[in-house]
Amino acid sequence: MIEAELKAVVRDPDALLRRLEDAHGPGRAEVYRDTYYDTPDGQLSAADREVRIREVTGADGSRTVLLTFKDARVDAVSGSKPEHETRVADGEAAHAIVRGLGHRPVLAFEKRCRNYAFEHRGRRMLATLVRVTELDGVFLEVETGAADERELPAALAAVRAVLTGLGISEEDLTAALYTTAVAAARSRRQGN
C-alpha cells in the first residue's frame, strides 16, 4: 500500500483544533517515540528508504509498538511512499532484531499527536495534529491509502479536499521531513 499523505504548517493551531473537533469529535491524544535505523554506510537513506520503530503511548497509558518499512517516494510533490507496517508485541525485541540485522539507530525523537480518524469520499482518512518536541510550530498531516500508483492521484485529491475543508491552502503545504528538520535543529544547537 502507498501512504498518500500531505503535510502542512498550521498557522492558527487553536482554530484548526476547533474545526477538527467540530467535524470529527475529540481527537485521540498520543505520544510517538520514533527511532529510525539505517545501515552503517547509510544505504537506506541514500535509497530514500526508512526503517522505523514507533512506540505509541495513549492518554490512557496504553502502549503500541509498530515496525515500519517505507520504500522510496513514488510522488515527488507529496513525498508519498509505499509503506509496510505491523504491530509488534515486544519493542525491545524489535529493536534487537533490527540491530541484529546490521542496522543502527541514526535518529530518535518524540512527536505529540492528536489523531482524527474519519471517512471522506469513501476513503478511510487520518488527520493528525503534530508537535515535534524539538521543532517550533504545529503541523497537520492528512493521509489515506492508495492500492498502487494508478490510484495515488485520486487518493491525494481526497487528501487535498480534506485539507481545503479545514482551511489549509496550497501555500501551507510542506514537503520538509521531520527527520531532516530534527537533525538540523540538533546540529544548530551543537554549533555545527
Q: Is residue 68 part of a domain?
A: yes
Q: Is residue 14 part of a domain?
A: yes
Q: Is residue 192 part of a domain?
A: no
Helices of type H across 48-151: 91-100
What is the pLDDT averaged over residues 92-98? 97
Could you list the residue range(s) of the whole structural domain that residue 165 is in? 2-186
Number of domains in the chain: 1
Q: Supply the CATH number for residue 27's domain.
A: 2.40.320.10
Q: Is residue 101 part of a domain?
A: yes
Q: What is the pLDDT of residue 146?
A: 96
Neighbours of 103 (CB within 10 A): 18
Contacting residues for 132 by C-beta, under 8 A, at least 6 apart: 109, 110, 111, 112, 139, 178, 181, 182
Q: Is residue 35 part of a domain?
A: yes
Contacting residues for 27 by C-beta, under 8 A, at least 6 apart: 20, 21, 114, 115, 116, 129
Q: What is the pLDDT of residue 148?
A: 95
pTM comes to 0.93
Distance CA 179, CA 4 (A): 18
Q: Is residue 7 part of a domain?
A: yes
Distance CA 104, CA 41 (A): 10
pLDDT digits (tens, 9 = 90+) for 175-185: 999 999 999 99
Q: Is residue 143 part of a domain?
A: yes
Q: Is residue 149 part of a domain?
A: yes
What is the pLDDT averaged over residues 71-75? 96
pLDDT grade for 191, boundaries at 50, 70 and 90? confident
